[in-house]
Amino acid sequence: MTLKDVKHWVFDMDGTLTVAVHDFQLIHRELCIPDDEDILTHLAGLPPAESAEKYAWLLEHERELALASKAAPGAVELVLDLVERGVRLGVLTRNAQELARITLKAIGLEQCFAAQDVLGRDNAAHKPDPDGLLKLAKAWNVEPAQMVMVGDFRFDLECGRAAGSKTVLVNVPENPWPGLADWHARDCFELRRLLA
């Protein structure tokens, strides 16, 4: 299967469709999370009251970032090209679903993604768990092997692999995870050229 044969694409949000702006060191510091721990995994392991308080801070911090989002180079053109080709599109992000929709609106792509096809940490287990991809596959009535997960980090690729989907690493100059990525593109312009 070539990339242009894939008719079901799922995108990560931050660093994939948008320019990455999260300051993870700041988030770790503000929420008193050790630097070597995953933020969402750490918060999920806290007592309920403390977890809720820290999730609330994270949500407001991420809301500010979502409102100021900028599209990654070539992302708008890529998505519009895929829409023109009749491809079904989804988003699977470690952010909250509400913030993913705000981000899509900020970068001018809200109309390209059906609301039910935008999944966040509040309606799917966070990546690298394949839960979100499997939910989209079921909703779309398609085998995961007929889908592609596009992202900029190993969690995206691990998620795709665990679901049995194809994977694309994008917006990274070199591929540090060659065993996890079926395709690699330095940016969304290059990824779009792979569809020619």
The CATH number that applies at residue 55 is 1.10.260.80
Residues 89 and 62 in one domain: no
Residues 124 and 30 in one domain: no
Residues 11 and 83 in one domain: yes
Where in the sequence is the domain holding 81, given as residue range(s)? 3-20+69-193
Residue 43, pLDDT score: 85
Residues 60 and 15 in one domain: no
**Stretch 66-88: mean pLDDT, rounded?**
96
pLDDT at 146 over 80: yes
Residues 189 and 125 in one domain: yes
- Placement of tokens 């008719």 in the chain: 7
Distance CA 21, CA 113 (A): 22
Residue 64, pLDDT score: 86
The total number of structural domains that make up the chain: 2
Considering the entire predicted model, what is its pTM? 0.88
**In 69-153, which ranges are continuous DSSP H helix?**
75-84, 97-106, 131-140
Residues 10 and 28 in one domain: no
